[in-house]
Structure 1
Amino acid sequence: MTRVSLFVAAAVAAFLLLPATTLAAKATARKTGNGAAPVRQGTPYATRDDAMQFADELAERRGLDRGRTRAAIAQAQLLPVVVRLMQPPPAGTPKNWTLYRSRFIDAVRIQAGVRFWQANREALERAEREYGVPPEIVVGIVGVESIYGQQMGNFRVLDALATLSFDFPPAHPRAAERTAFFRGELEEFLALQQRSGVDPTKPLGSYAGAMGMPQFMPSSWARWAVDFDGDGRIDLWRSPADVIGSVASYFKGYGWQPGMPTHYPVTFDAERVDMEGLLAPDILPTFSVPSFLARGALLDDTAVQHTGPLALVELQNGNEPPSYVAGTENFYVITRYNWSSYYAMAVIELGREVRQALQRGS
């Protein structure tokens, strides 16, 4: 899943679904650029039979060197802090879009976004030409995920993925599903390292194993990461061009449609609105415009011309009334990066704020 940026996930754990950003980055032996020492207070997996059995099965399944695979798993450490961070929020914790937004749409991120856009304008424009993804969406993603490289994580990716593969918190309501997911990510990570000849103990990332400026997970790196600067390697820690091209590649791969808005404003006819029916599909675009209107939603003149399906997106505001938008297929694509409508709106609004600040010359 999505982004997981450890900073994003930790900051909003009270009201954000587990954000394992469905992305990936190439692990390298170079420094991450954080300037932070890796978290290293764990118990090695070298004596764990289940971990070593996984290593043997992985080597056979993927045609990897058995000795190197076992050695890598043996060096991984169980990090209790990772287990704690992956615990779900307490039941009944209210979601609050206003609070969530304030943590990502602020002067620090906006100004950093302006500098990122100015420094990488050519790459952003080229990515839009090649993949159809607007610069503000890419800029929004990188800003929400890592503040443009300022916060990329200081957990060894090997430790984070091993911990979540072999010791995912069993009390989590989706423990079996998440364990399987992280074992797949650990497998992809080790395969990437052996193919590239990189020491698997070197890359640093989030507590969920997400890496680089865009906080990619290994499986998505294998599918979507690109060498956009043409230097013969993919570096999502230090190459903004590779980051930009890879994020755009990811969105195109998940069906981004050039020129389509992400959402429209929506209001309701209080006398006939079928709110339960409108919310039933969640954020999956399901309703044609006529069927959307027939359930009591009201759209402006631009939105009623939309030709694709729509979803009613609800953003709760704690004890205050929720906010609503009509989400398009492009809104849904953003949630493939992180399964959260709150996350998608933060990306959209940060990108918009950066664009406006850039246009103002601030």
Structure 2
Amino acid sequence: MPTRLSLFLSPCLLAAALAAALSIPAWAQSPPEQPLTPEQFSACVQSLAEQTSTAGRPLSRADFERIAATGKYDDRVRQSMQVAAGEPTFWWDELAATTDEDRVREGRAILAREAQTLQKIESQFGVPKEIVVAIYGIETNFGPAQGKIPVLDAALSYACLRPCPTSATGTGSCVARERAYAAVRVLRDKRVRTDNWQGSWAAAFGRTQFVPDSFEQLAVDFDGDGVADIINSEADAWATTANHLKQRGGWDLNAPVYLEVAVPQAQQAEFAASGKSIRLADRARPLSQWMAQGWRVLTAEGQPVTLQLDNDPQMYPFLPVGLPGPAFLVSRNFETILRYNRSERYVMEVALLAHKIAGGRDFATAWPTDDPGLTRAQVRELQAWLAQRGHAQVTPDGVMGRNTRDAIEQEFVAKGLPPQRRVGQRTMRLLMQP
């Protein structure tokens, strides 16, 4: 069956569109093939101790050596880096899962339950409460998925697996090294409890996932108990997130993160699929000028209309996979979320989920595929079927991880079909049919 891509694009543009739709985070590429030996890890930590003069904030070598001595190498960091590097995913898969109906419903319930607190945060920091709740949902599924790796271990392991370039000799010049130093300072200053300081493989922790150096600089005690506790306090975590969005980039309450648009026909050739996303920040201009040039905002039903907004915000084009596919004009709020997580896809996940939580709909323009992505509920259904088929390593958790993809590939081969590690709406039905 031809895909929607193949109906619209030449073979060359088809390959370009697929490349744009796929993503491998730059920071996750080429992780080491083998675990670090105890000797390698020890030598790395000693090297970090010798470089404490480069720390972005004061840190003595003695304090680093004393606290880092309690840290351990955790190979889950390397394994997670391998998964991120080895399993590129499509835009339509990730957004289908991260902004599904279950998450929208839970986000709306939090808005209702904590309306007063969230409104206070919005008023104080000037960041929409829906954006804060969306980040909460995507980062930790509203709290329970904060990570299980000791943060100090993760920070030291990450720094050793991502060694600094030789040119990174200036103060705060190496992200991985600074993250390790910040983790030590957080413990030195007793800003967290060591017995439950756990997080992700990248050393992000708390309900909205802050790395130690960002936590040091931006953490907020919003509930007034004298401690900025983003692990146990929702209010502190939400306010800290809002503070990040306020301090690093600034938020414009008069501008949406994105407007879905129809590109004028005469300009469409410029935005054809090119193998990467198209984001033209240097073309920012008032929305009214885009309207004057024939660009139109799409309604939820897909109807093109002209639009005026207060203060006529500056916006610029962003096309995740080029044309055909959804096209947007985005504001500086896009850049602000991008400073929270350096992923264009993450920005759109947050913005779309916030839009849905506020009562909006999905994008009007279909992604260029005939096999759309699965919701988390559908992934769990698939995983339960795979477990029944004898894939004991598969857990119905709604996360399309390596074990699930391994089992999918094996099932395709068992059916005499070309092996693949991804399924969508159509291929899930194909795979599971008797």
Pairwise same-fold verdict (TM > 0.5): yes
- 1:208: which partner in 2? 202
Aligned 1:110-129 pairs, distance under 5 A? 110-129=104-123
Q: 1:348 aligns with which of 348, 351, 355?
A: 351
Q: 1:326 aligns with which of 324, 329, 333?
A: 329
Q: 2:95 aligns with which of 98, 101, 107?
A: 101
In structure 1, distance between residues paired with 2:40 and 2:196:
18
- 2:255: which partner in 1? 260
Q: TM-score, normalising length from structure 1?
A: 0.75
Q: Which amino acid aligns with 1:314?
A: L
1:130 CA displacement? 0.7
Change (3 A) 1:55 1:109: same
After superposition, give the CA deviation of every residue in 1:128-149 in whole Å (9 maximum; x if it has no partner).
1111111111111100110111
Q: RMSD of aligned C-alpha atoms?
A: 3.7
In structure 2, distance between residues paired with 1:123 and 1:153:
25
Structure 1 stretch displaced more, 129-138 or 217-226: 217-226
Structure 1 unaligned regions, length at least 5: 1-12, 21-40, 358-362
After superposition, give the CA deviation of every residue in 1:91-143 in whole Å (9 maximum; x if it has no partner).
9x5x5322111111223322322332233211110011111111111111100
Q: Which amino acid aligns with 1:89?
A: A
Change (3 A) 1:285 1:113: farther
- 2:230: which partner in 1? 236
Q: Which amino acid aligns with 2:255?
A: M
Q: Which amino acid aligns with 1:161?
A: A
- 1:37: which partner in 2? none
Decide whether the 8 Å contact of 1:288 with 1:307 is kept in 2: no
The residue matched to 2:321 in structure 1 has which SS? strand
Change (3 A) 1:59 1:78: same
Decide whether the 8 Å contact of 1:45 with 1:76 is kept in 2: no
- 2:136: which partner in 1? 142
Q: 2:212 aligns with which of 214, 218, 224?
A: 218
- 2:152: which partner in 1? 158
Decide whether the 8 Å contact of 1:287 with 1:309 is kept in 2: yes
In structure 2, distance between residues paired with 1:207 and 1:226:
24
In structure 2, distance between residues paired with 1:96 and 1:217:
26
- 1:188: which partner in 2? 182
- 1:270: which partner in 2? 265
In structure 1, distance between residues paired with 2:251 and 2:228:
23
Change (3 A) 1:47 1:167: closer
Structure 1 stretch displaced more, 343-352 or 198-207: 198-207
Change (3 A) 1:241 1:18: farther
Q: 2:320 aligns with which of 315, 324, 328?
A: 315
Q: Which amino acid aligns with 1:251?
A: L
The residue matched to 1:76 in structure 2 has which SS? coil
In structure 1, distance between residues paired with 2:27 and 2:108:
26
1:336 CA displacement? 1.5
Structure 1 stretch displaced more, 343-352 or 152-161: 343-352
Aligned 1:261-300 pairs, distance under 5 A? 261-273=256-268, 275=270, 282=279, 284=281, 286-289=283-286, 292=290, 297-299=295-297, 300=305
Q: Is 1:335 the counterpart of 2:338 in the alignment? A: yes
In structure 2, distance between residues paired with 1:72 and 1:156:
13
- 1:15: which partner in 2? 23
- 1:74: which partner in 2? 69
Q: 2:306 aligns with which of 285, 297, 301?
A: 301
Decide whether the 8 Å contact of 1:133 with 1:256 is kept in 2: yes
Q: Which amino acid aligns with 1:168?
A: R
Identical-residue share of aligned pairs (%): 25
Which structure exhibits the higher relative contact order, with contacts defined as CA atoms closer than 8 Å and separated by 6 or more residues? 1
Q: Which amino acid aligns with 1:17?
A: P
Q: Which amino acid aligns with 2:183?
A: F
Structure 2 unaligned regions, length at least 5: 1-20, 29-34, 298-304, 361-434
Structure 1 stretch displaced more, 199-208 or 295-304: 295-304
Change (3 A) 1:99 1:184: same
Structure 1 stretch displaced more, 274-283 or 222-231: 274-283
Give 1 or 2 for the bigger CA radius of gyration: 2
